[in-house]
Amino acid sequence: MTDQGIRSRPSYAPLAPDPTGRTHLLVCDGAEPSATAFAPGVGPGDFAEVWTVQGHSKAIPMPHVPQAQHDFRSTSHLLISLRHRLANERMGFRLYAVGAEAFLWDVAKAAAAIGMGRDEYRLHATGSAARRVYCVHCRTMNEGVTTNVVTCSACGAQLFVRDHFSRFNNAYMGVQIDAEVPGETLPIEELYR
């Protein structure tokens, strides 16, 4: 992967329970979190509660049953419950997320919305490095971008995918590559798989 020298692209440290926390919830956008997401000697079992996404329409969390793992149908399904859960949490709660980058920053946005600080949630990107790219010209989100240049699905501009990442908008910036001279572009390379 090329480095454009831009400092807003996040980097992610391996996860381990924060010893200053009181309760710990790990959320994951797949059926189980990748082992590579954790610090040496740490695994999902070290977190009091683990929420996973099963990709199955019959999956259902069992909130009234004290158990360590709850299953959700999709990330959207999980985020709904997460927002409710966060609204009822107190000081000392720690949130951890594992999965694709766009999922991580959806989780972070939910945490920030209820006033959690950046040291109270921890994120680790795993799986596909495909990017959500925001067309700065027409303001459309282009999902799952794996190439250095992509055609905006809405306005047709040839967008260069900058390393400039907005946590708030949860997207990388796409800027028309040939705005100055039409057709002056780069060979397309698959960089974000």
Partner 1 sequence: MTTAFKTDETFRDDFRYSNSDAAILRFPFPFPEDTYMYSVNMEPHFPGGATDAFNTAFDVDEHYVGECRERALVLAQDPNRCLVLPHMMQAQWDTLELLMESMARDYPEHFTLERDGDRWTWHNRPLGIHDTFTFGKVDTLPYEPFEYIARQAQGDFTLQDQRENTLYLDGGIATTQADWSLEFNVGMTFHEWHGPVPVAHELGVFDRALQYLMRVRYGQPVRRLNWTMTVNPRLDTSPENYPLWGPDRTTLTPENVGKLLHLRVELQTIFRLPRSNALLFGIRAYLASIEELARVPKWGRRLHRVLRDLHPEIAAYKGTDRYRDTAVAWLSQFDDGAPTEPGIAAGISSLPA
- Of the candidates 51, 32, 45, 39, which has an alpha carbon nearest to the alpha carbon of residue 12? 39
Q: Which is nearer to partner 1, 161 or 173 (CB)?
A: 173
Cβ closest to partner 1, residue 24 vs residue 162: 162
Residues that bind partner 1 (CB under 8 A): 5-9, 117-119, 134, 136-137, 139, 157, 162-169, 171, 173, 175-176, 179-181
Helices 101-113 + 75-87 axis angle, to 10? 20
Nearer to partner 1 by Cβ, of 46 and 163: the residue is 163
Phi, psi (degrees; rounded to nearest 5) at 147: -115, 160
**Which of 139, 83, 127, 81 has its CA nearest to residue 102?**
127
Q: Pick the closer one to partner 1 by CB: 26 or 157.
A: 157
Candidates 93, 111, 107; CA nearest to 48 is 93
Closest CB 23 distance from partner 1, rounded Å: 21
- The minimum distance between CB 22 and partner 1, in angstroms, equals 20
Least Å distance, CB 116 to partner 1, is 11
Output the CA–CA distances (angstroms, integers) from residue 34 to 15, 39, 80, 123, in the order listed.
11, 12, 23, 13
The residue among 49 and 163 lying less far from partner 1, judged by its C-beta, is 163
Shortest distance, CB of residue 172 to partner 1, whole angstroms? 10
Residue 75: strand, helix, or coil: helix
Least Cβ distance, residue 4 to partner 1 (angstroms): 8
* Cβ–Cβ under 8 Å, residues 76 and 106: no
